[in-house]
Amino acid sequence: MPLRNKSSKPVPWELTIEDSNYQEQPWKLKKGKSHITIAKDKSNPSNFHLQKDDERVLSLQEQQARMTYHQLIEFGYKLQKRKKASVKGS
């Protein structure tokens, strides 16, 4: 039953700002020169948009996005951490 173990692991959109791994969307996964972007659909927050490199955007339901995210991690993609923006002093 490995599928259940995968689906129980948190995905980026389930984390809150208090979590140490929290990141705002879009979430970018990278493997070599290839990158995949995942973001919530603005008109329907229960759906997600997924895009590989500059290919067409796919619309996925939440469960499909969750499983796709876990498969990408298994295939060697890594969630990119964003660099914190520096705050300029006056």
SS3 18: coil
Query: Does residue 12 lie in a domain region?
Result: yes
Q: What is the span of the domain harbouring residue 26?
A: 2-79
Alpha-carbon gap, residue 90 to 4, rounded angstroms: 51
pLDDT band at 52 (very low <50, low <70, confident <90, very high): very high
Phi-psi region of 82 (alpha: psi -120 to 50; beta: other; left: phi over 0): beta
Q: Beta strands 27-31 and 47-52: pairing type?
A: unpaired
- What is the tally of structural domains in the chain? 1
Q: Which residue has the higher pLDDT, 8 or 22?
A: 22
Query: Does residue 85 lie in a domain region?
Result: no
Taking all residues of the chain, what is their mean pLDDT, rounded to a whole number?
86
What global pTM score does this model have?
Answer: 0.79
